[in-house]
Amino acid sequence: MEIKDPRNHFSKENGALSGEKTSKTIRKLKDMKGFYEDEEAFNKMDPETVLYEVEMHAPVKAGTEGGLFFGTSFLNPGKVGEEFFMTKGHFHEIINRAEYYWGLEGEGVLVFMDEDGNASAEKVCPGSLHFVPGKIAHRLVNTGDTKLAVGACWPADAGHQYGPIAESGFGVRIKEKNGTIIAE
C-alpha cells in the first residue's frame, strides 16, 4: 500500500486552507447594507472595504447527511460608527444542527441568539473553543486591532439561513464606547 501526501493543508499559525475542494467567500461592506445601526457612518465608508473572508473545505456535496464541512473565517479589524466589524450571522437551515468554533488568532466575540431573540456572547481568543447548539443563530465580531481568525466545523447538510437576521437583527450589538467594549 502506498502512503500518499495529504491533499489538503491547514495552517496551524492562522487557519489558512489550501488544496482540493477548498473555496473562498469574500464579504465586503456593500454586502452588509442594513446590518449596522449607524447608516450615516456606513454610507460614508468605501463599499469595497473587505470585512471578512471565509475559506472552506467541502469534501462532500452541500446537503450530504453525515458529511462535514471545515472552514476558517478571517474577520478584519474596524468599525462602522461605534459598532465593530462582524459577520452576517445565521441560523442553520436544518435548525437543529450544531457547530464548533475555535479561536486561532486575534480577539473577538461570538454572539449567540435563540429563536426568541435572547442573546448571549463569549470572548474569542487563540485556543478558545465554542460549541454552537442547534436552534441558535451565531455571529462573529472582531473587537481587536488585528485580524480575527476562527476555525469552524459543521454538518454538510446544515445550510445557512441569513434572512431572519437581515430582517429582524440580532438582538444585541457589540460596540466600543469611551474605550470600553459593550453589548447593547
Angle at 74 between CA 152 and CA 171, to 5 degrees: 75
Q: What is the Cα–Cα distance from 53 to 32, expressed in whole angstroms?
A: 13
Give, as one character, the DSSP assignment of residue 85. P
The answer to whether residue 2 sits within a structural domain is: no
Q: pLDDT tens track of the chain, all 184 residues? A: 999 999 999 998 889 999 999 999 999 999 999 999 999 999 999 999 999 999 999 999 999 999 999 999 999 999 999 999 999 999 999 999 999 999 999 999 999 999 999 999 999 999 999 999 999 999 999 999 999 999 999 999 999 999 888 888 888 999 999 999 999 9
The answer to whether residue 151 sits within a structural domain is: yes
Q: What is the CATH number of the domain that holds 96?
A: 2.60.120.10
The answer to whether residue 157 sits within a structural domain is: yes
Q: Look at the chain and report how many structural domains it folds into.
A: 1
Answering whether pTM is above 0.85, one says yes
The answer to whether residue 12 sits within a structural domain is: yes
Which residues form the domain of 72?
Answer: 8-183
